[in-house]
């Protein structure tokens, strides 16, 4: 269980060439290239926000998987995207955690 604050829940997901893209609505302030994460199979999985739009009084945000390529959700075999609907999304603000995610994104 996480003690991080949930800022939204996944409402849509798709797998594209660059990996998994999630979409969620939030009241929180989010900008492009903020990092958010979801708790998936007891591990936090990071996403780089790539698109922020206004939807009514909320923000509609898309994020693409980032972090170490070998542990990305989109690499799992027999994965059903529908499993992600409703997952809580957390904003990553810890500078050390952001540094670690950025370093892992560069690993081959």
CATH of residue 40's domain is 2.40.30
What is the extent of the structural domain holding 72? Answer: 6-105
98 Rama class: left (phi>0) / alpha (psi -120 to 50) / beta: alpha
Is residue 41 included in any domain, yes or no? Answer: yes
| pTM: predicted TM-score of the whole model, two decimal places | 0.90
For the chain, the domain total comes to 1
Is residue 10 included in any domain, yes or no? Answer: yes
Q: What confidence tier does 1 reach under pLDDT thresholds 50, 70, 90?
A: very low
Terminal C-alpha separation, the chain = 30
42 near 23, Cβ under 8 Å? no
Is residue 1 included in any domain, yes or no? Answer: no
What confidence tens digit (pLDDT) does each residue in 20-61 have?
A: 999 999 999 999 999 999 999 999 999 999 999 999 999 999
What confidence tens digit (pLDDT) does each residue in 52-93 have?
A: 999 999 999 999 999 888 888 988 888 899 999 999 999 999
């Amino acid at each position: 269980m996480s003690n991080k604050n949930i800022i939204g829940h996944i409402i849509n997901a798709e797998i594209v060439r660059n990996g998994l893209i999630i979409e969620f609505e939030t009241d929180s302030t989010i900008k492009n290239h903020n990092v958010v994460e979801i708790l998936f199979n007891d591990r936090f999985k990071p996403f780089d926000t790539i698109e922020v739009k206004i939807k009514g009084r909320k923000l509609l945000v898309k994020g693409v998987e980032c972090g170490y390529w070998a542990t990305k959700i989109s690499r799992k075999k027999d994965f059903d995207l529908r499993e992600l609907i409703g997952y809580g999304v957390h904003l990553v603000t810890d500078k050390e955690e952001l540094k670690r995610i950025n370093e892992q994104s560069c690993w081959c």
